[in-house]
Structure 1
């Protein structure tokens, strides 16, 4: 899902940086979409990092495995 959000975010950024004239409302909508995608991207990257770190540390901190 993170890859999809990142690709859509890049496409929106291209629209914002392109030297084309857009109606005012469309430009505002695209800006709001870009902000929302940025927030989603940040949230998904944080959860993926937490899942990865939880998976790695859970094996080391398991007291049953360390006693055996």
Structure 2
């Protein structure tokens, strides 16, 4: 795991085409802007873990672009 420290309006680049910018920092929340190609899927981490722990079959299908 990599840990980065950023201030408001600072960001980082992940790979060749994903950028993350810190928009706002408050006591309990951080707002991020994430720029990525339109076809890149995005999921809430809580949703993925909830579905993985559920006994019911999931309709969620994960795929990696280019594979």
| TM-score w.r.t. length of structure 1 | 0.27
| TM-score of the superposed pair, with normalisation by structure 2 | 0.27
Higher Cα Rg: structure 1 or 2? 1
Q: Name the one with the larger strand percent.
A: 2
Determine which structure has greater relative contact order: mean sequence separation of CA pairs < 8 Å that are 6+ residues apart, divided by chain length.
1
Higher helix share: 1
